[in-house]
Structure 1
Amino acid sequence: MLSAQQSQAKRPVSAALAGPYGHPFHPILVTVPIGAWVASLVFDVASLVVHDPGFLTRGSMWLIAVGVLGALAAATVGFLDLFAIPPGTPAMRTALVHMTLNLLVTGAYIGGFFWRRAAGTAGSVGTGTLALSAASLLVLGVSGFLGGKLAYRYGVRVADEATQADGYTRTGTGGERPGRSR
């Protein structure tokens, strides 16, 4: 049986903005900054080993920009998910650390973007900006771990077990699933 607090954390504040019950938009949107920022680090490293690195340095800078825009979109719906978590709970404390780390990482990437822009994109990426990107990804990994804890341990915005059970109910005759033959 779910407590009132658990039930509250599973329901969206606004289904139209944050995603319907059991299918929040935040986990979908976080794939954009994660993918863009990982790819930017790959471009950074590659820029150190190729003959003409300018295209990789420019690509990395723009991947960072795409990641920042994606992070802002993910944060918008993430805030809505945050409002569903009851205050004073371990889930809320975890969510606040998760949010703080994500804001720090996004700020670091914004700073890195302008640093790169000022340095120019003709040569390979500098060691300082490379180190900033690598450190930011490490912090993002910690934040992602906390986001997983929110979903998989605390069940924030995850459908309750009775709803989940629908996915494990066999249909058809003789215990077979439709479309499968013996």
Structure 2
Amino acid sequence: MSETTPQHRAKRPRSAIAGPYGHPFHPILVTIPIGTWAASLVFDIIALASDDPAPFVVGARVLILIGIVGAVLAAAIGLVDYAQLARGTAARKTATVHMALNLGVTVLFLVNLLLRWSADDDEVSIVGFILSIVALGALGVSGWLGGKLAYHYGVRVADERTQAEGFR
């Protein structure tokens, strides 16, 4: 693979904050919002079934906040990777949709958090609960696109010569 092709550039970090070659930071950081937002939905479900929902309602709120902070960090690093993708390529178009969905999901969880802060701790915000389900559905689609970027297009994945070293 030529050192100057768009595909080669997509595999190499633009700066050290994106992570070293073959070990990008963005996929690691996305586990924060994915995990905390999924856990917040579990807390909502437990709160709906609980005689004392307050600890779970507050816990869900805190988890959503942690997820928003994690999403901002993941987005910042993802943007560095995005900048390496050549315009007009299928990888760039996929990454644009991936990014737009993630920004939309983050906005939904921000609205969700604001609704929950204005609600009582003694019951689950049904609107917040529904927003979580919708946002997590969109996050699943975005995650599928992120997987396509890494596993299908090889964005920020070591090139085949490096990968072949593991099979010698």
TM-score (norm: length of structure 1): 0.89
Aligned partner of 2:144: which letter? F
Letter in 1 for 2:115: W
What is the identity, as a one-letter code, of the residue corresponding to 2:113?
F
Give distance in 2, aligned partners of 1:100 and 1:125. Answer: 28
CA RMSD of aligned residues (A): 1.0
Cα distance between partner residues in 2 of 1:10 and 1:132: 35
Cα distance, 1:126 vs structure 2: 2.1
Paired residues of 1:37 and 1:64 also in contact (CA < 8 A) = yes
CA distance in 2, matches of 1:62, 1:126: 14
Give the 5 Å matches for 1:134-149: 134-149=133-148
Equivalent residues in 2 for 1:78-97, closer than 5 Å: 78-97=78-97
**Match in the other structure for 1:105:** 105
The 3-state SS of whatever aligns with 1:145 is helix
- Number of the residue aligned with 2:67: 67
Give the Cα separation in 2 of the matches to 1:126 and 1:26.
Answer: 31
- Aligned residue pairs, count: 167
Matched, 1:131 2:123: no
1:166 deviates by 1.4
Under a length normalisation based on structure 2, what TM-score does the superposition of the two structures give? 0.97
The structure with more radius of gyration: 1
Structure with greater helix share of residues: 2
Give 2:48's aligned residue: 48
The percent of aligned pairs where both chains have the same amino acid is 53
Stretch of structure 1 that moved more, 1-10 or 54-63: 1-10
Once the two structures are TM-superposed, the CA of residue 127 in structure 1 deviates from its matched residue by 1.6
Q: Gaps (5+ residues) in structure 1?
A: 170-182
1:115 aligns with 2:115: yes
CA distance in 2, matches of 1:98, 1:59: 28
CA distance in 1, matches of 2:52, 2:5: 60
Distance 2:120 2:23 in 1: 42
Q: Secondary structure at the match of 2:118?
A: helix
Matched residue, 2:160: 161
- Please, which runs of 5 or more residues in structure 2 have no aligned partner? none
